[in-house]
Chain A
Amino acid sequence: MSAPIETSKLHDCRDAFVSTLEALGEADNNIVAVCNDSVGSSKLGNFRDKFPDRLINVGIAEQNMVGVGAGLANGGKTPFVCGASPFLTGRALEQIKADVAYSEANVKLVGISAGMAYGELGATHHSIEDFAWIRALPNVPVIAPADRIETAAAVKWAAENEGPCFLRLSRVGVPDLLPAGHVFEPGKANRLREGGDVTLIANGVLAHRALNAAQLLADHGISCRVINMACVRPIDTDEIIAAASETGAILTCEEHTIFGGLGSAVAEVVVDHHPVPMKRLGVPGVFAPTGSANFLLDEFGMAAESIADSARELLRRKG
C-alpha cells in the first residue's frame, strides 16, 4: 500500500446499504424497512417498489418510528429503522434506550447522512454526537463502516444476528478500502496499513484520509500503522493495546465531537491498559460553521496533511 489511496472513484455507502437490504429482503420476507418520510434520503425507493408492504413509513415522527421498530421486532420482523442520524438518534434517544437497548429488541437502527454529511445545512443537521449517545447504552453495537464493502458486510451481519445495532452511514463519497468478500465481525478492527512509529485509528469517512496521511508520513520516513475501527462499541481492545505497545503513540480521527466518540473510546482502553501519548482529532466541541462535509473535515484539522502534522507533533511527545 505505498501508492496514495485512489480517490477518483468514490462511492456513496447508502447505495451499498440499500442494495444489500434489497437482496436480503428477497431471501427473507421478515426483513422490513421503517422510515420517517425519508424514502429518498434513505434511498429506499427501490425497496418500496420491490416490497411495497414492507416499507413502513410512519411519517415525520421519529419517536414513533423507533417504537414501531421495536414492536415489529416483537412480532417476528427484522426491522431496519432508517432516518437521518441527527433526528433518529437525537429525537428518539429515549426510545432507543428503553424500547431497543434495554428491551434487547431485534432492531437495526440505521443513521443516514451521519457526521457532517449535511454540511451546509448546519449544526442542527449534523450528527456528531451519535457515537457518544449510543455507545453509552448497553446492548447496541455502534458501527461506522469505512467504505461500501464494509457497509454491505455490516448490513448482512446485522440481518443475520439477533439483537439491536446502530449503523452509522454517511452520504459523502469514499473509496474502496477493504478487500472484496470482507466479512464484518463486531468488535474486530481491520489493520489497513502496517507501521511501527505511530498508529492512526479512524473509521467512516476518515479512514481513507488517515491512509493518505500515513502515505505522506511514509514519504518522510515515518512508519505509520492505520487501523479502521468501524466498531466504536464493542471496541477492539486487543488491537488498541497492540498499537499502544508496539507503536507507542496513537492518533485518532473521527467525524464526531471529540467528547465521547471514537477517540474517547480508544483513550479509555489506552488509559486502562497501556498509557501512551495520544491525540484526538475531531470536532473540538463546537457547532460547525457553514461548509460542506469535506470542507469542515479539512477545517477541523483532518485533511491528510493536517493529520500528518498532528502525527509528527505526537511523535515529538513520544520521547
Chain B
Amino acid sequence: MSPEELRKIANWIRKRDLQAVYEAGAGHIGGEMSVTDLLTALYFHTMSVNPDAPLDPQRDRLVLSKGHTALALYVTLAKKGFIPESEIATFLKPHSRLNGHPNRTKVPGVETNTGPLGHGLPVAVGMAKAAQLNGDSWRVFVITGDGEMQEGSNWEAIMAAAQFKLDNLTLIIDHNRLQQGARVADTNNLAPIAPKVEAFGWMVEEIDGHDMKQICKALAPETTETGKPKCVVAHTNKGQGISFMTDNVAWHHKVPNEEQFRQGMSELEKALS
C-alpha cells in the first residue's frame, strides 16, 4: 500500500476515533492521535495478519503496551476487519468488549491484556523468544509511550532482548514528549532515549512518527540488524491532526465539547484535500 493510501486510512481512523471519544464521553485522545500513523503502517503495510485467522501461529504480533489508547487499536482492527466497524459505537458501553484497555480473550487481534504500563515489552520479548526457539520467521512489534519508559520493567526487558539477540523484535516508542500530567522532560526526563537504548545493545533509529514513508522504511525487515533487537524512536505529537490538541498536555484524556468535535472533524476532513 502506498504512503498516500496509508495516510487516507490513518485519517479515517483519526476521525472515527474522535467521534467515538466524543460519543462515549471518554478516551485518551491525545495519545490515540499520536499513535495512529504507527498503527496504520503496522496493520496495513508491515505486519502479516489475517482477520479470518486471528490466532494463526505464524502471524506477526503487535503488543500495544500503551493500552490506554485502546480505542485507536479497536478502530484500526475494525478497519482491518477483525471486528465490525459498527461495534466501535459500543466503546465503553456496559458489557461492550471494547473496554478502556484491550482484552485478548474478548477482542480478536489483541495479543495480551495491557493497561498497567511497562507490561507490553516483557511479553513481547517472550513472544520473540518463542519464535526464535521455533526458528519461525514471524515478527513481534510493541508500542510503548515515552513516559512509559520510566517503568523499570521495560529496562529489564531491554536487557533480556539484547542478551537473547532478538532481531525479530521491534520496539516503537511513541515519543510525543507528554505524559498524563506534564512534559516528560519536566517529570523524569528520559532524554536522550536513543543512545540509552543503544547502549543496552539495541539497534536504534529515530524517525518522524507521522511520516508514512519513514515509518514503513523503519519497520521493514531489511532495515533490521542480525542479532540485535531494533528500537524505533518515533517522534510524534500528542493530538496530531487536530490543531488545538496538538502538543497540549490538557488533551491527555480530555473530551471535546460539540464545538471542539466539529472543529476537529473539519480539520481532519481538510487534511485530506
Contacts and interface: CB of A to CB of B under 8 A. Distances in A.
Interface of A: 32, 53-54, 56, 58-59, 61, 63-77, 79, 94-95, 98-99, 102-105
B112 A70 contact: yes
B113 A67 contact: no
B53 to A, nearest CB: 15
Contacts of A103: 104-105, 112-113
Given A61-B156, A72-B130, A103-B112, A67 B61 contact: no
A79 B122 CA distance: 14
Interface string B87-121: 00000000000000001110000011111101101
Given A67-B153, A103-B104, A74 B129 contact: no
A71 B57 contact: no
Interface in B106-159: 111-116, 118-119, 121-131, 133-134, 140, 152-153, 156-157, 159
Contacts of B122: 63-68, 70-71, 95, 99
B57 A72 contact: no
B181 to A, nearest CB: 21
B156 A71 contact: no
Contacts of A75: 126-127, 129-131, 133-134
Contact of A71 (B105, B125, B134, B153): B125
A104 B105 contact: yes
A105 B129 contact: no
Contacts of B249: none
Q: Which of the four size classes fits the interface of chain B?
A: 35 or more
A58 to B, nearest CB: 5
A67 B124 CA distance: 8
Q: Helix, strand, loop or mixed for chain A's interface?
A: helix
Contacts of B129: 56, 68, 71-72, 75
A98 B119 contact: yes
Most buried by B among A67, A69, A99: A67
B193 interface: no
A102 B113 contact: yes
Given A63-B153, A99-B119, A74 B114 contact: no
Given A61-B159, A103-B105, A74 B123 contact: yes
B157 A32 contact: no
Q: Helix, strand, loop or mixed for chain B's interface?
A: helix
Contact of B119 (A54, A58, A59, A67): A67
Contacts of B156: 58-59, 61, 63-64
Interface in B156-175: 156-157, 159-160, 163-164
Contacts, number: 108
A65 B126 CA distance: 9
A69 B124 CA distance: 10
What are the 7 A-B residue pairs with the smallest beta carbon separation, nearest first? A71-B126, A75-B130, A67-B122, A64-B156, A61-B156, A68-B126, A71-B127
B57 A76 contact: yes
Nearest to A66: B122
A72 B159 contact: no
A98 B160 CA distance: 20
A65 B129 CA distance: 12
Given A59-B159, A76-B57, A67 B126 contact: yes
A65 B125 CA distance: 10
A64 B161 CA distance: 10
Contacts of B123: 67-68, 70-71, 74, 99
26 contacts: A58-B160, A59-B156, A61-B153, A61-B160, A63-B118, A64-B157, A65-B122, A67-B119, A67-B121, A67-B125, A68-B123, A68-B157, A71-B125, A71-B126, A74-B111, A74-B127, A75-B126, A75-B129, A75-B130, A75-B133, A76-B57, A95-B153, A98-B114, A99-B112, A99-B122, A103-B104
B106 to A, nearest CB: 10
Given A63-B118, A67-B125, A105 B130 contact: no
